[in-house]
Amino acid sequence: MAKLNRRNFLTAFTSGVVGLGLSKNIKGRTRNAGSASGGLSSIKIQKYNDLGKTGIKVPDVSCGAISFFEPNVLRYAYDLGVTYFDTAESYMRSKSESFIGDALKDIRDKVTITTKHGLNAKVKRDEIIKRVEASLQRMKSDYVDIAMVHGVSDLALLDNEEIQAAYAQLKKDGKVRFTGFSTHNAKLTLKQALESDFASVILVIYNHDEGKEIEPLIEQVRQKGIGTVAMKVFAGGKHGNLKSLISQEVSYPQAALRWVLSNSNIDTCIPTMSSYSHVEEYVGTSGKPLNRADLKVIAEYQRQTKDQYCRVSCQECLASCPQNVAINDVLRYKMYFEDYRREKDAMQYYSELEDSKKPLNCASCSGICETACKYNLKVKEKLIHAHKILSA
Ligand code: SF4
Ligand code: SF4
């Protein structure tokens, strides 16, 4: 490999060159990955934080297991000091949980695992218990550290007696240590979390574009002792399609991660680590302060993407649609399909959406939603395209 200076080293990170080279050495091995990588041995988690009041220590940079190609990548993350792993029943149609089990079963007591289950108001206690037990089986573990209710938009759902009874039983049986929720509607749910005892840990969207507004709430829930985990840290996930950013001194993902970590009320974040190069690139930001070069890259990313993607936590245009289309959900699935490359998951989620919320009549509409979008997105065009790719 050609000698790497700082500039092309980071470029190599972004393009995956470094990681792909290393993967040949790492497969089937665990520790001492650094020795195979020469100068890369210094890449290690530098900072661990308290996860709220749970008593669990977590690295500032953790592992999102939303998509990946082999368990060894997760094991490599552990080798570099990552001890918190986030999965969900729905990720890769449950295969993510199986990969977690395969990768971490012999070091189970050294890692913290969160999994998530999407629930609705009609769910029964026994069904929840069965689904959590099935997750445990896939994860090859007797317990999960944090069981979250997935994608909660209103915490009133968690007042449901069946849900309360299920998680109380799972805790009593030692199958769940802590409960929490993930949300795309933090403006409401974090406020509600201040009055509720359900969540020991929360998972929220927090990035340089969708973060400022909820910072006071994040601070309050953190003060209450709730652990805070940031997701969707790469605003819109567009960097893979913005080749011009690759030539920057700093990689966009590293800049975006440092922006998130500069908030001391965030305990950890979960960028998806689906390759060895992701692991190295993201872990490389641990413990490092946000700097001017990061802010420059973020500003350039914002310049190129500002009217390109739907802010997942934004709902501003929803009321304007006479057809009641779930605009932000549909555009989120489009993001999963095109930017996260999770085509099958995205199509599955879209197929579960009620037809009445799909953009089936947009072609004959004047596009009122576009006037309501403060980011000037070509919403109608994007929705029509989303329907085409997600229902192909
Ligand atoms: S274009 Fe579609 S989403 Fe937008 S207002 Fe019309 S029907 Fe609703
Ligand atoms: S389309 Fe625009 S206004 Fe509507 S949810 Fe997305 S970002 Fe918000």
Amino acid symbol at 339: D
Q: Is 263 in the pocket of ligand 2 (CB under 6 A)?
A: no
Residue 233 sits in the same domain as residue 326: no
What contacts 198, CB < 8 A, 6 or more positions away? Answer: 155, 158, 164, 167, 179, 180, 181
Residue 227 sits in the same domain as residue 182: yes
The DSSP bridge partners found for residue 365 are none
312, part of any domain: no
Number of the ligand 1 atom closest to the C-alpha atom of 362: 2
Could you tell me what percent of the chain has a pLDDT over 90?
71
311, part of any domain: no
Residue 288 sits in the same domain as residue 359: no
Domain end, chosen from 301, 327, 354, is at 301
* pLDDT tens, residue by residue, 157-194: 999 999 999 999 999 999 999 999 999 999 999 999 99
257, part of any domain: yes
CATH number at residue 46: 3.20.20.100
Residue 282 sits in the same domain as residue 360: no
The DSSP bridge partners found for residue 182 are 203
Residue 25 sits in the same domain as residue 134: yes
**Strand, helix or coil at 221?**
helix
326, part of any domain: yes
Residue 260 sits in the same domain as residue 331: no
Is the pLDDT at 7 greater than 50, yes or no?
no
3 state SS for 227-251? EEEEECCCHHHCHHHCHHHHHCCCC
Q: Whose CA is nearest to atom 7 of ligand 1?
A: 362
Residue 345 sits in the same domain as residue 294: no
pLDDT for res 290: 95
- Mean pLDDT over 197-204 rounds to 97
Neighbours of 29 (CB within 10 A): 13
The number of distinct structural domains making up the chain is: 2
Is the pLDDT at 20 greater than 90, yes or no?
no
- Mean pLDDT over 52-72 rounds to 90
* pLDDT tens, residue by residue, 344-388: 889 998 999 999 999 999 999 999 999 999 899 999 999 999 999
Q: Is 361 in the pocket of ligand 1 (CB under 6 A)?
A: yes
Residue 69 sits in the same domain as residue 168: yes
Residue 16 sits in the same domain as residue 92: yes
191, part of any domain: yes
3 state SS for 104-150? HHHHHHHCEEEEEECCCCCCCHHHHHHHHHHHHHHCCCCCEEEEEEC
CA of 388 to the centre of ligand 1 (A): 15
Q: Which domain holds residue 322?
A: 318-390
Neighbours of 326 (CB within 10 A): 19
Residue 201 sits in the same domain as residue 140: yes
* pLDDT tens, residue by residue, 73-116: 999 999 999 999 999 999 888 889 999 999 999 999 999 999 99
